[in-house]
Structure 1
């Protein structure tokens, strides 16, 4: 459980915060797009239900759905993420390896548990790039991770240049780690406790191999079986071609996930992951059928939380300080007592 600090005063006031949020978003998306050769595209707010396009996240979250009168009450679903939609878009655009897309995603996750870093409203930069099938390696993944991390560092310095009172804290390099190694090293700690321990030590880490079974039969964290490849052997004694970027948040005294990313499933790894999760019924969906037939581009992609990144860079302690959402009366009252101004 994340505990808010008993004493807190925001570095920037509300008006300054609003201006800084715009500056961060404008700068970061330009940095990301130029670093990874990404072109901006417009994203959907909702997709057709029953096509297998919406993201199941951990496989249990319920999407918001509604009927459309003009389509004979055909049901639509508010997106929970664009992981699969992006791959379809890259395929439709026939992008060459090394080029991709990014978009502003606005999603609703009504089953999310509310706390200082989680909201039912999710705004993030979703990105996806075409890759050569020969680059489906953990080494290529880690090169892209380092590029994304450089964008975070550049944005932090950009902010410091505008607001000198916000000192840079990101370390020079991001530490590459593996979920399986962490379980072996700290078997008595929970996955979250392992994340906190190593992120506090290194300042910024990328934990590789999230979603697949670790050597003890557990998983580090849940991942749906139809976008990230978490089952393929990475060639260095581990499994999984995906992971999370975490940074140390000294105000909340915990690791803060800023990005989840990975190489996407091949037809072979999709089938293996669906079998492991006992979800072979998904093969009847349009997205999964096209993928299994080899009709989709091989891609690598991820998402970077906009409000969470702003929260971290602006040294805020609650995500409600950088986005507008709904909160329980208890949360609002607690924030008021602590001097936390929710937007």
Structure 2
């Protein structure tokens, strides 16, 4: 059985009925705030894409997508999306979206290789969003401004939840702290990446870790990132690299760091070629998505994903993501969670 975090003296603050009401409250309110804050229009997204076009998100490059043959296409294979990181950019081009505007959608995915625990499920649901930017906006200051606006929307949603349910108290700090992954390594050189995240989140409450995907001074990556959507190899200020990152918070219910969003300024032609070379993935240059990007047929953009069930879990103070979403769990985990007061849907 996968590892379960067992918080002491945990009890759900809302019963099943109020939990379902709270999930709807959060999802309705947050997506409207996100749409307004970043000037995004809602679009309809696919559950699966054709294999071999380079459209699916490759995550860390080792996760296997769920695939199936399509009878009416001569058994050509389709893949259930891992996320819509590259599909959204194609959509921006198709809809001719102008700089300063973008799209968002409900992304539903199946990640069969996920290690199941309090935070990780086979079923992944996100608000995936993408906005067109100008060449001048491809910088760290602009990235930080977008992070702050997303975090403000999260805090407004927390306020609404606490006003609606008096027994839920706010815990998110007013400001989000920014730190580069290399600086984080220098602060905690003897800790693993996960331990560094725990340490910095416990100190500040909410953190955006910049520069994820490239190797640090110790020769290791803070975390993996596919080479063909986020721009993590751009040489930025102070010689550090990266125009992407993760939004994390310190979650007191589980006493650990908790990732809510992965996002970044997307690759342009130069950074795509550089990152494909770094990762030894130059063969991807011949795929549909990559050919269109290299032909300057796709707009410059910024985008990311924000976990829907994760945000609901945090704002409703739940200890297991299975208290928020319906998924498949090992029977032993279900029994253990029921004993711990966190029954899984």
Cα distance in 1 for residues equivalent to 2:6 and 2:266: 36
> Does the alignment pair 1:17 with 2:19?
yes
Partner of 2:6: 4
Correspondence for 1:76 among 75, 78, 82 = 78
TM-aligned CA distance change 1:337 to 1:2, over 3 Å? closer
Cα distance in 2 for residues equivalent to 1:265 and 1:83: 11
Count the aligned residue pairs: 343
| Residue 216 of structure 1: how far off its partner (Å) | 1.9
What's the CA shift string for 1:158-180, capped at 9, x where partnerless? 11111121111111100011100
Q: Secondary structure of 1:236's match?
A: helix
Partner of 2:231: 229
Q: For 1:1-343, what aligned pairs fall within 5 Å after superposition? A: 3-343=5-345
Q: Secondary structure of 1:206's match?
A: strand
Q: Secondary structure of 1:220's match?
A: coil
Q: Secondary structure of 2:337's match?
A: helix
Cα distance in 2 for residues equivalent to 1:218 and 1:139: 26
What's the CA shift string for 1:174-210, capped at 9, x where partnerless? 0011100011121100000000001011000000001
| Residue 2 of structure 1: how far off its partner (Å) | 5.8
- List alignment gaps of at least 5 residues for structure 2: none
Q: Are 1:3 and 1:252, in contact at CA under 8 Å, matched by a contact in 2?
A: yes
| Residue 235 of structure 1: how far off its partner (Å) | 2.0
Q: Are 1:2 and 1:254, in contact at CA under 8 Å, matched by a contact in 2?
A: no
- List alignment gaps of at least 5 residues for structure 1: none
Cα distance in 2 for residues equivalent to 1:335 and 1:223: 32
Q: Secondary structure of 2:44's match?
A: coil
TM-score for the superposition, normalised by structure 1 = 0.99
Cα distance in 2 for residues equivalent to 1:143 and 1:153: 15
Cα distance in 2 for residues equivalent to 1:71 and 1:102: 29
TM-score for the superposition, normalised by structure 2 = 0.98
Greater displacement, 107-116 / 231-240: 231-240
